[in-house]
Structure 1
Amino acid sequence: MDTITNRLGLQSSKVDESRENQAEILDEQEQEQLLQDLRKQNEESNLMIQSGLLFVGVLVCAIFIVYLYEVYTHEDFTKGGRLPFPFLSTPVSSQVGLPYLGVLLSIGSLLATMATLMLTCRVTFSDLVHMSPSQRGTGQLHLTGSISSIAMGSVMPLLCLFSIKVTWVEVIFWLLPLMMLAMDLLAIYMMGQVNADFTELEKSRYKYKGA
């Protein structure tokens, strides 16, 4: 009688253990699915941010292209025309020499900034067209692109220091490429921090599972 009771107790404990193991497996699957869903949502959000930053970069490039046309049609090629700020009550003309070169350098700086964003975030034109994240994650900062952007974008602001007639409006105008780079670098840093948090979460979960 005792033997039968012991056997029944042993079978009951095995059934309970099997149910606990099954519940643990289901919990792990749910956690894995939840983590994947969160990663997907984060990648979609990142792609929206990256697309917005690239769009802003294109708009700033358009501003300099408009000014390039103003410089090209100006009476004196060596002097700048009116800065493309339509919201100003009084038009402001550029006082810095070589505006044509400044526009080309500024556009080059903006293009380098956009390339830095795409290469660092591993975004392709196909991702942008289809608005479908590739889930490659954020890589190391592309130093060549960022340094090129700083080098080209710093020329005109530095030249403003040697002109006593320059206004604060023109300084802001020539600082636009560097401001764009700073905004992109801040976004890249924040996206990298979120990706690092996901990686740490995965490591801690697997570590806990292995323990």
Structure 2
Amino acid sequence: MEGLHNRKTKVSEEDEAEFLDEQEQEELLQVLRDQNNKANLAIQRGLIIIGCITSAFILLQKGTPIIPISQVFATPTETVLKWSTFAALTSIVSIGTSIFALVIKCKMNILGLLDSLCLSDQYTSGVVLASIITGAIAPLMALFHASAWIELVYWTIPLFVLGMYYTALHMMNGVQASLDELEKSKYKYKGA
């Protein structure tokens, strides 16, 4: 018997305090959910602002023959696109549809827009496809006109913005799935 007593470790008060009862688990999960929702909203707003700034940048630069980002990386390069205004328009439409897809996917009811248009999550894939198609027009034009690499990079910015939106949404969904798994585990393991 003495050997059994020696092998059994005593539970200290600190170890017992680490277990949460069901109400404490609920409160902790609710705090985590609230913090996650707050962070997601901040990320979504930031993504929309980035999209608006990018659109404004393209809109303000559409009349100049110089590619704006070429001044940063190399000597200023002139665009070879004959229809650079059309390329700028399709780029802006691509970013706008990307923002619209983000609003639909995140269920951001800006000024009652989602309610008035009766849009649901099922339309997101069509809007994303429209964004990809309109975003690919300008880079394809640059490829067909044998543009400099810097011009090709400039016209792919809307596709980079769309990729950034997709990556952020994927990460937000991953965190939400982790919270859901954590909530499920609390019912499997008492005190977990």
Whether TM exceeds 0.5 here: the answer is yes
Residue of structure 2 equivalent to 1:168? 149
Residue of structure 2 equivalent to 1:41? 35
Match of 1:31 among 25, 28, 38: 25
Q: Shift in Å at residue 53 of structure 1?
A: 1.1
Structure 2 residue identity aligned to 1:149: S
Q: Shift in Å at residue 141 of structure 1?
A: 8.5
Residue of structure 1 equivalent to 2:61? 67
Pair 1:179-2:160 in alignment: yes
Match of 2:81 among 96, 100, 123: 96
Whole-Å separation in 1 of the counterparts to 2:145 and 2:164:
27
Residue of structure 1 equivalent to 2:128? 146
Whole-Å separation in 2 of the counterparts to 1:199 and 1:140:
22
Structure 1 residue identity aligned to 2:153: I
Whole-Å separation in 2 of the counterparts to 1:178 and 1:55:
16
Match of 2:104 among 114, 119, 133: 119
Whole-Å separation in 2 of the counterparts to 1:153 and 1:173:
11
Q: Shift in Å at residue 208 of structure 1?
A: 4.1
**Structure 1: segments with no counterpart, 5+ residues:** 1-25, 71-80, 127-138
Rg (Cα) greater in structure: 1
Higher RCO (C-alpha under 8 Å, 6+ residues apart): 2
TM-score (norm 2): 0.77
SS in 2 for 1:154: helix
TM-score (norm 1): 0.70
Moved over 6 A (4+): none
Q: Shift in Å at residue 97 of structure 1?
A: 2.5
Whole-Å separation in 1 of the counterparts to 2:75 and 2:56:
22
Match of 1:204 among 172, 176, 185: 185
Whole-Å separation in 2 of the counterparts to 1:56 and 1:104:
17
SS in 1 for 2:67: coil
**Identical columns (%):** 37
Contact 1:66 1:84 in 2 (8 A): no
* Alignment RMSD (CA, Å): 2.2
Residue of structure 2 equivalent to 1:156? 138
Residue of structure 2 equivalent to 1:78? none
